[in-house]
Amino acid sequence: MITYLALGSNMGERLELLKAAREKLAADSQIEVLASSKLYETDPYGYTQQENFLNAVIKIDTSYQPADLLKKIHHIEAALDRKRLVHWGPRTIDIDILLMGDLNITTEELTIPHKEMTKRSFVLIPLRDVYHGELFNKSLAAWIEASGNQQEVRLAKEVW
């Protein structure tokens, strides 16, 4: 199933952590990485007393069911020393499921499509690199404009 994942890091070697997350996903026999966005330097969101993030979106094809993919993601985050200490706080790696085929899921642990994605330019701008078409009957450009925070997202000097 075609799935879009948002990746972010603002602790330690951000670029290396993003690369490691993508490599761990690609190494799984049930995941094929199809495309990667450019990297974007992003001001922190929510809790702003922290370092800037590097953000990206990857497009994958997976045979995982949503709950199993979430478990895989949590395993990768733990392997890369992710700690959940402060809501929206600093992190070595963050991986979110944005879209998974045309699924609409709401559970205690998981909401697909990601419920906050249309408010966050740090998700929408990299998503535009790998997702083509409308999102919820609007263009990505329209969602980015409506987010009002696109100035907080800049193309990063790092390349992966």
Q: Which amino acids are annotated catalytic? A: 82, 91, 94, 96
Task: Please give the sequence-ordered ranges of beta strands (E in DSSP) within 13-123, or none if there are none.
Answer: 31-36, 40-42, 53-62, 94-100, 105-106, 111-112
What's the rounded Cα separation, in Å, for the pair 78 and 156? 25
What's the rounded Cα separation, in Å, for the pair 84 and 94? 10
What's the rounded Cα separation, in Å, for the pair 77 and 94? 7
